[in-house]
């Protein structure tokens, strides 16, 4: 799939793993941390035009609403650049959401398209059957100027998905389980390609979470076959004619991994690597200080619904801080309309403005020394959410919500009794 999309964007009949190509890009993305560095590069090189046929998208989400003066200056630089080139896809506070939730929601990416973003979780859009990957700011700057970039064509690992998920198991458990199997560099420089009859049991929300964390296995991208779930998701989102690329029956893979959804437990990654996975049931001795539900990994409406189901009519443990972050304004509104916001707040959680915030230790929930969080975010590296002596346990929204109620790492059945 990846190789077909890359070939089409390079204007070549086919490409092979290891080949160096120049590919046209449909979308180039940056945020308030990475875009200022790219803008500096762009301006220092003396460019005075941006590529016309590429959607250059800037999202002010990491340290916004501005956490301090430096963050304010970074956003100001992006705002000025967007104005100078009259960029239609500039998203500031009020319109902005966490970039990788916002971009699929707004139809800025479609199946068969190619995207790069100066953010490692740009791989999220593989959920839609697009090729998308994270790069740095200089690559972003060059792509803003030329509308293209160079790639080394990756080899692929096929993840053959079968079976049905158990109760309380979600896309987050699937990807954590997979990273636990292959390790944080298990797919280094490679594509993860998800296919198989089990796909029909994975909603678009599950898929977005799985593709989002492909980078946590070192992968260049994580892409799903396009099916009816994809087509339904795309309805009404974009009027471009998109293409569903399918892997050939005799496609070559560097490795094939069979994943039976029915065998995957609710999974939690212990500090300080996403590969340190354990079943949630092993965490009953681990007491926690904070729960974060949100981020580009798990800030979608289905994630909010999973948390609300568990928190409805319950209260989080006294003394624990519960922070819920709907990823976009649209999701935020839906939380209000569906009554989730009331459920969260009656449970003792606070509902934050959309932002990346605590996920990368920016703001809105930083940990002190010795504190522990269960978080639906994507990385549990040393110091990621605050002090270097704090700990992050990565989990699904259902596990995070259940853990908020009990005060220790909990399988949802501990709270829901089923």
Partner 1 sequence: MNAHGKAIKYGDHIDTDVIIPARYLATQDHKELASHCMEDIDKSFVGRIKEGDIMVAGVNFGCGSSREHAPIAIKASGISCVIAKSFARIFYRNAINIGLAILECEKASENISEGDEVVIDFDTGLIKNLTKNETYQAQPFPDFIKEMIAKGGLMSSIKGGAK
Find the binder of partner 1 among 19, 40, 160, 203 (CB under 8 A). 40
Find the binder of partner 1 among 2, 8, 9, 34 (CB under 8 A). 34
Residues in 200-229 that interact with partner 1 by CB under 8 A: 215, 218, 220
CA dist., res. 397 & res. 324, Å (int) = 10
Q: Which one of 39-47, 252-260, 263-271, 316-324 is the stretch in contact with partner 1 (CB under 8 A)?
A: 39-47
Name the token pair of 153: 């064509």
User: Does residue 185 bind partner 1 (CB under 8 A)?
Assistant: yes
Q: Which C-beta is closer to partner 1: that of 216 or that of 303?
A: 216
Q: Which one of 31-39, 174-182, 205-213, 313-321 is the stretch in contact with partner 1 (CB under 8 A)?
A: 31-39
Beta bridge partners of 408: 287
Q: Which C-beta is closer to partner 1: that of 302 or that of 371?
A: 371
Q: Which C-beta is closer to partner 1: that of 188 or that of 333?
A: 188
Encoded one letter per residue, x for contact with partner 1 by CB under 8 A and - for no contact, window 114-133 reads ----xxx-x-----------
Identify the CA nearest to 159 among candidates 132, 186, 189.
186
End-to-end CA distance of the chain: 39
Alpha-carbon Rg for the chain, nearest whole angstrom, is 20
Least separation in angstroms between residue 175's CB and partner 1 is 16
The answer to whether the bond into 65 is cis (omega within 30° of 0) is yes
Please count the residues of this chain forming the interface with partner 1, following the rule CB under 8 A: 51
Find the binder of partner 1 among 19, 315, 381, 414 (CB under 8 A). 381
CA dist., res. 387 & res. 302, Å (int) = 31
Encoded one letter per residue, x for contact with partner 1 by CB under 8 A and - for no contact, window 75-114 reads ----------------------------------------
CA dist., res. 329 & res. 97, Å (int) = 6
The three-state (H, E, C) secondary structure of 75-107, written as one string: HHHHHHHHHHCCCCEEECCCCCCCHHHHHHHCC
User: Does residue 141 bind partner 1 (CB under 8 A)?
Assistant: yes
CA dist., res. 339 & res. 159, Å (int) = 37
Q: Which C-beta is closer to partner 1: that of 135 or that of 161?
A: 135
Q: What is the DSSP letter of 378?
A: S
Name the token pair of 210: 């799985």
Encoded one letter per residue, x for contact with partner 1 by CB under 8 A and - for no contact, window 52-71 reads ----------xx---xx-xx
CA dist., res. 117 & res. 34, Å (int) = 9
Name the token pair of 403: 């853990």
Q: Which C-beta is closer to partner 1: that of 146 or that of 160?
A: 146
Residue tagged 């998905």 (tokens): 161
Binding footprint of partner 1 on the chain (CB under 8 A): 20, 33-34, 36-37, 40-41, 44-47, 62-63, 67-68, 70-71, 73-74, 118-120, 122, 134-139, 141-142, 145-146, 150, 184-185, 188-189, 215, 218, 220, 273, 360-362, 379, 381-384, 388
């Amino acid at each position: 799939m990846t190789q077909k999309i890359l070939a089409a964007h390079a204007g070549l009949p086919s490409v092979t793993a290891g080949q160096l190509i120049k590919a046209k890009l449909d979308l180039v993305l940056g945020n308030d941390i990475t875009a200022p560095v790219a803008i500096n590069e762009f301006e220092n090189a003396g460019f005075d035009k941006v590529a016309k046929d590429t959607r250059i998208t800037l999202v002010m989400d990491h340290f916004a609403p501005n956490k301090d003066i430096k963050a304010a200056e970074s956003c100001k630089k992006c705002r000025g650049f967007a104005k100078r080139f009259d960029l239609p896809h500039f998203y500031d506070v009020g319109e902005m959401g966490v970039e990788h939730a916002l971009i699929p929601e707004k139809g800025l990416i479609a199946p068969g398209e190619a995207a790069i973003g100066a953010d490692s979780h740009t791989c999220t859009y593989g959920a839609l059957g697009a090729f998308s990957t994270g790069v740095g700011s200089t690559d972003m700057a060059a792509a803003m100027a030329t509308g293209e970039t160079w790639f080394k064509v990756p080899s692929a690992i096929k993840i053959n998905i079968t079976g049905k998920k158990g109760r309380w198991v979600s896309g987050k458990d699937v990807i954590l389980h997979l990273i636990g199997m292959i390790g944080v560099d298990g797919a280094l420089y490679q594509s993860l390609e998800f296919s198989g009859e089990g796909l029909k049991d994975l909603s678009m929300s599950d898929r977005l979470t799985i593709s989002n964390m492909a980078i946590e296995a070192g992968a260049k991208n994580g892409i799903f076959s396009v099916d009816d779930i994809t087509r339904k998701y795309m309805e009404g989102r974009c009027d471009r004619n998109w293409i569903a690329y399918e892997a050939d029956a005799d496609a070559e893979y560097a490795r094939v991994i069979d994943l039976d959804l029915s065998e995957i437990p609710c999974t939690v990654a212990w500090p300080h690597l996403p590969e340190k996975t354990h079943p949630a049931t092993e965490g009953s001795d681990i007491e926690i200080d904070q729960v974060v539900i949100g981020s580009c990994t798990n800030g979608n409406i289905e994630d909010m619904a999973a948390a609300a189901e568990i928190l409805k009519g319950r209260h989080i443990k006294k003394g624990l801080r519960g922070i819920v972050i709907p990823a976009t304004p649209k999701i935020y509104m839906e939380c209000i309309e569906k009554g989730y916001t009331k459920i969260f707040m009656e449970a003792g959680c606070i509902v934050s403005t959309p932002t990346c915030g605590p996920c990368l230790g920016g703001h809105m929930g930083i940990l002190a020394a010795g504190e522990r969080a269960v978080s639906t975010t994507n990385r549990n590296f040393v110091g990621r959410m605050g002090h270097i002596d704090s700990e992050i346990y990565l989990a699904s929204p259902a596990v995070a919500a259940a853990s908020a109620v009990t005060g220790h790492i909990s399988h949802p059945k501990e709270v829901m009794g089923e």
